[in-house]
Amino acid sequence: MLVHGAWHGGWCWRRVADLLEHRGHRVFTPTLTGLGERSHLMSADINLDTHIADVVNVLKWEDLKDVVLVAHSYGGWPVSGAIEQTLDRIASVVYLDAFVPEDGQKSLDTASDFSRKAFLDAIDKGELSRAGPPATTFHVISEKDQAWVDGKTTPQPIGVSLQPIKLTGAREQVQKKTYVRAPKYPQPFFDSYYQAKRNDPSWRTYEVSGGHDVMVDMPERLTEILLEVA
């Protein structure tokens, strides 16, 4: 299962999903509530628990087992929360240039400068969501892909950044754990996660040369990594 990050939707995984399905794998790319094709569901009631439930419910209703669960960027929050409820279903977890939160943290605590500013501006205006940055901020490589991403991104619900996550250590019990870093995209928390995981024998680490939207810039390489860590 491939879980997208802020402002994105299941659409961003299309290239990777096609490659994996061509190799005979079942692939699920859920869109979190209030984003992408579910942007019409934007509401003040959306919080982190909502997005955790989005992930959990696909695993449960599709009766998925031995899952490779991939989290991109903000997706590290709902994925970490979902593992708490579905540990027995997860064979491998991959954090793709993603947040690896600790118990009690909230997304706002780890936001990049531009993201935090957009969040605070949205709160000041009494808005329910915060608009995303242009694809160039993510260092999307080609101009064609930049236009594609810019045409697809939608505002991120504010509530998901305000709710502290509740974790008890289930994530560390997943048998296979991987962190993939795209250092072209500046994010100090991602750098710290990557360095910490490199020194942890229970994790595998990879570094890729594309921008933050690895699934857009480097779908073939990402597919190779996912097959290696499955």
**112: pLDDT confidence band, cut at 50, 70 and 90?**
confident
Q: What CATH number does the domain containing 83 carry?
A: 3.40.50.1820
Indicate whether 138 pLDDT > 90. yes
What mean pLDDT do residues 121-135 have? 90
Host H or E run for residue 52: helix 48-61
- The pLDDT of residue 123: 84
Task: Check residue 40 and give its pLDDT.
Answer: 97
Q: Per the structure, how many domains does the chain have?
A: 1
Domain containing 200 equals 2-229
pLDDT given for residue 126 in this prediction: 87
The pLDDT, as a whole number, for residue 121 is: 85
Mean pLDDT of 16-45: 97
Annotated catalytic sites, by residue? 73
7 φ/ψ sector (left φ>0, alpha ψ -120 to 50, else beta): left
Q: Tokens for 62? A: 């599709």
Q: Is 155 left (phi over 0), alpha (psi -120 to 50) or beta?
A: beta
Query: pLDDT over 70 for what percent of the chain?
Result: 100
